[in-house]
Amino acid sequence: MRLSQSFLPVLKESPSDAQIASHKLMLQAGLVRQTAAGIYAWLPLGWRVLQKVEQIVREEQDRAGAQEMLMPTIQPADLWRESGRYDAYGPEMLRIKDRHDREMLYGPTNEDMITALFRDDVKSYRDLPRMLYHIQWKFRDEVRPRFGVMRGREFLMKDAYSFDLDEAGGQRSYYRQLLAYLRTFRRMGIKAVPMQADSGPIGGKLSHEFIILAPNGESEVFYDAAVESIDLDRPGLSYDDDAGLAALFNEVTGSYAATDETHDPARWAMVDDKAKRTGRGIEVGHIFYFGDRYSKAMGLKVSGRDGDMVTPMMGSYGVGVSRLVGAIIEASHDDNGIIWPEAVAPWKVGIVTMRADDEATVAAAADLYQKLGAAGVETLYDDRDERGGVKLGGMDLMGLPWQIIIGPRGLKDGVVEVKNRASGEREELTPEAALAKLTS
């Protein structure tokens, strides 16, 4: 992408609305614009990142054996009456009426709908187990949205649902998602710690939330460093290996990890002092096993092996996709701007010309831009007629992992500068060497 032809509005000062780093940076670097309280438009830069995050989530769900589908944002109220949640769900649910005065709502989640869909077409134990997911916008009319996209009213969420014949099967599905989540967050280049969670109003026995550590996190966290070093690539750990999955689960639950809500000082005291880790965190995922809570209420039954009717056991597994974008920034930035982990960066490389009026500079930049593109490296080329400093500041703010800085001074010696955003390291390389380095 050539910056001169793009819509990437970067602000010199950050709007006064924003309070925390990620929110400020998202506005300043032009990722989002607020449309109403807790509702955001995603501009090209933010949208690219959001899609990267979404794609990682999607790939890991697919690997775990879940099938993607798409359910609507608008749902009929009657669906929620069936599960008994329509009246139970508070004012966070956005209730609307269509022109025929039918009661509708903008979905805050989809357990009810998926249960109905599954019920209507699945009749036999042979069709179980199944795991389904979709990535869709949700709306929860929070009393007080804040922190930008981390606590918005409208948000993009991946929610998966598992259907199993019995509790053991449900547990297996849960373990699979646990592994999928650990792999998902690791791929994004962030540290997300699984913590035993209170399963809350949904009810159920198994529940974990995944917390990204960030100084501005909403809750305080306490955990044993051992949970950070779980090997996810070891032999025997696969989605088809029950023993391996169970071992993983034991490893996760065997180490103390809790937020302030569930913190147990007595158990905490038993953790080795050297392994104790505390800090603040942001919840980016939550997995639940809730058994027959919805299947029972909504009459989901299948014929069992012996001809009897069986009520499937369910679980649901959420990832706050849009929230993750904010959370990643919260966990990865400095005074100059965002520092994207490469896996979610909007572009891998940014090219800056220090002198847009120097022919050799522009030619070298255009050549590198073309070659990087041909090699499949996502590159943003700042070809604007701006001063070097302005462009460098912009690059730092936008946080692309690599910058190639090209100017007459270096070209005189046949080199360009390659800068790593995260470490700040700079190297002077020939354009060919720079190309080789960034395409390898």
Binding site for RNA (CB under 7 A): 10-13, 15-19, 23, 34, 36-38, 140, 142-147, 150-153, 155, 157, 200, 209, 218-219, 283-286, 318-320, 322-323, 336, 354-355, 357, 361, 387-394, 396-397, 405-411, 417, 419
List of residues 6+ apart from 157 with CB closer than 8 A:
109, 135, 136, 137, 138, 318, 319, 320, 321, 322
**By C-beta, is 145 or 312 nearer to RNA?**
145
Paired strand residues for 285? 210, 319
| Shortest distance in whole angstroms from residue 257 CB to RNA | 15
Report in angstroms how near the CB of residue 284 gets to RNA at its nearest. Answer: 6
For the bound state, the minimum distance from the C-beta of residue 381 to RNA, rounded and expressed in Å, comes to 16
d(CA 270, CA 374): 56
Total residues belonging to the chain: 440
Q: How far apart are CA 148 and CA 32, in angstroms?
A: 9
348 vs 391, beta carbon nearer RNA? 391
Nearer to RNA, 16 or 440 (CB): 16
- Are the CB atoms for 368 and 314 separated by under 8 Å? no
Q: Which is nearer to RNA, 21 or 310 (CB)?
A: 21
Helix axes 431-439, 359-374, angle to 10 degrees: 30
Measured from the CB of residue 299, what is the shortest distance to RNA in angstroms?
Answer: 26
CA-to-CA separations, 319 to 6, 140, 228, 298, 375, in angstroms, rounded: 30, 15, 19, 25, 32
CB-facing half-sphere around the CA of 264: CA atoms within 13 A? 12
d(CA 216, CA 331): 9
- What is the smallest separation between the CB atom of 255 and RNA, expressed in angstroms? 21
Instruction: Closer to RNA by CB, 37 or 436: give it.
Output: 37
- Partners of 146 in beta bridges: 151
DSSP 354-394: S-TT-HHHHHHHHHHHHHHHHTT--EEEE-SS--HHHHHHH
Instruction: Pick the closer one to RNA by CB: 48 or 208.
Output: 208
| Smaller CB separation from RNA, 355 or 371 | 355
Q: Which two tokens stand for residue 2?
A: 């050539």
Nearer to RNA, 209 or 224 (CB): 209
Beta carbon of residue 376, minimum distance to RNA (angstroms, whole number): 26
CB of 135 to RNA, least distance (A): 13
Integer Cα distance of 284 and 323 in angstroms: 7
**165 vs 184 by CB, closer to RNA:** 184
Q: In this complex, which beta carbon is closest to RNA, that of residue 56 or of residue 411?
A: 411
Structure tokens at 353: 């010309």
- C-beta separation of 162 from 173 below 8 A: yes
- The least CB distance from residue 155 to RNA, in Å, is 3
Cβ proximity of 133 and 161 under 8 Å: yes
Least Å distance, CB 307 to RNA, is 39
Q: What radius of gyration do the chain's Cα atoms show?
A: 24
Q: Which is nearer to RNA, 170 or 285 (CB)?
A: 285
Least distance CB 273 / RNA (angstroms): 29
For the bound state, the minimum distance from the C-beta of residue 140 to RNA, rounded and expressed in Å, comes to 5
- At residue 230, the 3 state secondary structure works out as coil
CA distances from 265 to 219, 274, 324 (A): 16, 16, 29
**Token couple for 151:** 């606590």
Q: Tell which residue, 83, 319, 73, has the closest CA to residue 194.
A: 319
